Amino acid sequence: MTTIEPIKLLIVDDSLMVVDALKQLFKESKSIEIIGICSDGSEVLSFVQRNRTDVIFMDIKMKRMDGFTAIREIKDYDSKIKIIGFSLISHRLFINKVINMGADGFISKYEADKELMLQELDRVMSL
pLDDT at 71: 97
The domain limits of the chain are 7-125
User: What number of H helices and E strands is found in the chain?
Assistant: 5, 5
Res. 1: pLDDT tops 60: no
CA distances from 82 to 56, 58, 68, 103, 127 (A): 6, 10, 14, 7, 9
pLDDT at 101: 94
Q: Which CATH number fits domain 7-125: 3.40.50.620, 1.10.3720.10, 3.40.50.2300, 1.20.120.330?
A: 3.40.50.2300
Please give the mean pLDDT across all residues of the chain.
Answer: 91
Q: What is the pTM of this model?
A: 0.91
pLDDT at 117: 80
Q: How large is the average pLDDT for residues 47-60?
A: 96
Res. 56: pLDDT tops 70: yes
pLDDT tens sequence across 25-46: 888 888 899 999 999 999 999 9
pLDDT tens sequence across 64-103: 899 999 999 999 999 999 999 999 998 999 999 999 999 9
pLDDT band at 3 (very low <50, low <70, confident <90, very high): low
